[in-house]
Structure 1
Amino acid sequence: MNRARGFTLIEMIVVIVITGIIAAMVAVFLRKPVEGYFDTARRAQLSDIADTALRRMARDVRLALPNTLRVTDGDRTVEFLLTRTGARYRAQPRSDGTGDPLDISTLDTGFDILGPPITFQNGDRIAVYNLGPNIPGANAYVGDTLSAYTGPPGAQSHVSIAAKQFPLASPASRFQVVEGPVSYACDLTSGTLWRYWGYAIQATQPNAASLPSLAGVQAARLATLVTGCSFRYLEGVTERSGVLELSLTLSDGGENVTLYHTVHVDNEP
C-alpha cells in the first residue's frame, strides 16, 4: 500500500516564519524608494502649480499700462491697469489739411489712428502718456490720463472718446487701450492666490479684504496650498523701467516648494 505523504505542523510554522522575515526585509528596503517616489511626485505637482501661477502673472504684468503697478498688504497684493492693445495717434493734420489729430490744448472727442485699424470693445478706456502718481496731474487711477471710448465695437481707424483734454502729449504719439484693473492677492488663511478683475478703477488701491466686495468684481483661483508669497516692485533709476519680484511658496504633506520669478516692467509711456 502507498503511504500518504505531506508536511508536518512544525514545517508549516517554519515556512510561515521564514516568509514573514523575508516580507519584513523587503518592506524595509522598499519603504524609502516608495516614499521618495511619492515625495518627488508631490514636489513636482507643487512646482507645476507655482510655475503656472507665476507665468500667468508675468504675462499680465507685461501688458500693464506704464506706471500703474502698485503693491499693498505687506507685499501680498499687486494691482495694475491691464491693456489689450495700443497704437499711434495722429498729432498733426495731413499736408492738405485733412485728418483728425488729437488736440492736447483743448477738449477733444476723437482722433485718427496712424497705421492699421485696431479692435475696440465696449467699456474700453484710452490712455495717453500716463506718468503715474509721482507726477501731479498724470495719474490714470484718478482719471488724469484716461478717457472712455465711445465709438462702436470692432476694428476702427478713428477713436471716439468722451470729451477730454489730456494733460500731456506723448513724445512718440502713443496711446493704449485699457481694459480695466487687475489684482493678484494672496489669502494665506485659505492658502489661495486669487486673480480679481471687472471692478471699477479705484483711486486708492484695494486690498485682499476689500476686493471680493467691490461692485462687478470677478475672481478666479490661480493657485491653492499657498503658505507664503511676496510681490515687490522695484522702480528703475530713470522710472522708465522696473522689476517686479514674485515669490510663491506652496506646501503639501510636509513638502515645501518656493519659486522666485522676476518680471521686467516697461514704463515708457
Structure 2
Amino acid sequence: MNNRFSGLKARSQNLGFTLVEMVTVIIILGILVVGVSSFVILGTRIFIESTSVDQVLSQSRFAIERMTRELRNALPNSIRVKTSPLSYQCIEFIPIKSSASYLELPIAPNVAASSGLIMLPSTAIDESDQMVVYPLTPTQIYGGTATGSEGHIFDIKQVTGNDVEFDRAVRFAQASPQQRYFMVNGAVSYCFLASGEVRRYGGYNLTSAQPTPSQMGTGVLMAENVTNNLQNQPAISYTPGTLINNAVVQLSPLFEVNGQSFQYQHQVQVINVP
C-alpha cells in the first residue's frame, strides 16, 4: 500500500513545466509574434500606400476628364489663362448653354433695336441668360457686355415664341457668317494652386480683368497633390485658335503621393467657329 502511494506521489511531482521550458516557450512565441506582426504591419502599410495612390489617381482622372468636357463646350474665343507663379494658374472660359441660328437681329450698321427673331435652341432660354453673336476675342466677350448699345454680348429680357427681347435698344457689332448665336450664363475657372489643390470656380460675374481665386470664392475641390512648379513647369498651356487651326489647351499637371509621381500630357481641342 505504501509503495503504491509513493509511486503516485512521484508521478504527481513530475507533472507541469520546468522554468527552463516555460522560458523557452515564451521566447519562441515572442519570435513568432514579432514575425507575424512585422508581416501584418508591412501588409497594412502597403495597403494604405496603394489606397492613397489609387485615390489620387482617381481624383486626377476625374479632374482632367471634367475639365476636358467643359473646355470642349466653351464659347469660341472665351478662353484666357492667368498665372501668378508663386500662387496659382487659372484657366477661365464661358460654357455654352445653348446655340441656334438667328433669323433677324439688330446688327451694325443697322440701327439699334430692342428685339429680334431667332430659332429656338433645344435647351430653354432663361431670362438670366446672355446672347452672344460672333465673338472673336476674349475682350469682346468679357469687356463688351454691357451698358453700351453696341457689342457682342447682351442681356436677355424675355423670349416669347421666336421673338427675343433685350432690356434696351442694342445692336451687335458684327454678323455671324452662319447666323449663329450662343446663350451663356456666367464663366467657369479651373485653378491649379500652389498648395497642391485643383479647384473649380463658377457662379461669378464676367469681368474685363480675369479674376484671381480669392475673388471667385472658395470653389469646389477637384483634386489634390499637384506639385507643378508654376513658373518653370506650368500645368496649363494655351494656344489660341486661328482661321486654320482650332484652339488647343495643353494640360500637364504633375501629381505626387508617397514618393511616386505621375504627369499627364493631355491636349484638348476647342472648337473655334463663332
Q: For the superposition of Structure 1 and Structure 2, which TM-score range results when normalised by the shorter chain? A: 0.7 to 0.9
Structure 1 stretch displaced more, 257-266 or 14-23? 257-266
CA distance in 2, matches of 1:14, 1:259: 57
CA distance in 2, matches of 1:248, 1:11: 63
CA distance in 1, matches of 2:120, 2:134: 19
Code of the residue aligned with 1:264 in structure 2: it is: Q
Offset at residue 224 of structure 1 (A)? 3.5
Offset at residue 67 of structure 1 (A)? 0.3
Please list the CA deviations of residues 87-127 of structure 1 after superposition, one character each: whole Å capped at 9, or x if unmatched: 1111xxxxxxxxxx224222132322236664112321100
Picking from 147, 154, 178, the partner of 2:154 is: 147
Match of 2:132 in 1: 127
More helix by share: 2
Please list the CA deviations of residues 203-262 of structure 1 after superposition, one character each: whole Å capped at 9, or x if unmatched: 1212234434xxxxx732223344336111123453651121223344445454444432
Mind listing any 5+ residue stretches in structure 2 that lack a counterpart? 145-150, 229-233
Structure 1 stretch displaced more, 57-66 or 25-34? 25-34
Structure 1 stretch displaced more, 167-176 or 240-249? 240-249
Q: Is the CA contact 1:118–1:156 (under 8 Å) kept in the aligned structure 2? A: no
- How many residue pairs get aligned? The number is 247
Match of 2:174 in 1: 168
How well do the aligned residues superpose, as a CA RMSD in angstroms?
Answer: 2.6
Please list the CA deviations of residues 13-33 of structure 1 after superposition, one character each: whole Å capped at 9, or x if unmatched: 111112222333344555544
Offset at residue 64 of structure 1 (A)? 1.2
Q: Secondary structure, in 3 states, of the residue corresponding to 1:204?
A: coil
Distance of aligned partners of 1:127 and 1:116 in 2 relative to their CA distance in 1, 3 Å threshold? closer
Identity %: 30
Structure 1 stretch displaced more, 117-126 or 42-51? 117-126
Q: Secondary structure, in 3 states, of the residue corresponding to 1:111?
A: strand
The structure with the largest alpha-carbon Rg is 2
Q: Secondary structure, in 3 states, of the residue corresponding to 1:119?
A: coil
- TM-score, normalisation: structure 2: 0.79
CA distance in 2, matches of 1:63, 1:119: 17
Matches within 5 A, 1:1-269: 1=5, 2=8, 3-4=11-12, 5-29=15-39, 31-73=41-83, 74=85, 76-90=89-103, 101-104=104-107, 105-114=110-119, 118-133=123-138, 139-143=140-144, 144-151=151-158, 156-162=161-167, 163-189=169-195, 191-212=196-217, 219-228=219-228, 230-238=235-243, 240-269=245-274
Offset at residue 52 of structure 1 (A)? 1.4
Q: Is the CA contact 2:72–2:270 (under 8 Å) kept in the aligned structure 1? A: yes
Code of the residue aligned with 1:219 in structure 2: it is: G
Q: Is the CA contact 2:116–2:164 (under 8 Å) kept in the aligned structure 1? A: yes
- TM-score, normalisation: structure 1: 0.80
Q: Is the CA contact 2:225–2:256 (under 8 Å) kept in the aligned structure 1? A: yes
CA distance in 1, matches of 2:58, 2:214: 27
Q: Is the CA contact 1:244–1:262 (under 8 Å) kept in the aligned structure 2? A: yes
Distance of aligned partners of 1:78 and 1:140 in 2 relative to their CA distance in 1, 3 Å threshold? same
Code of the residue aligned with 1:167 in structure 2: it is: A
Code of the residue aligned with 1:46 in structure 2: it is: V
CA distance in 2, matches of 1:237, 1:19: 76
Distance of aligned partners of 1:260 and 1:27 in 2 relative to their CA distance in 1, 3 Å threshold? farther
CA distance in 1, matches of 2:177, 2:255: 45
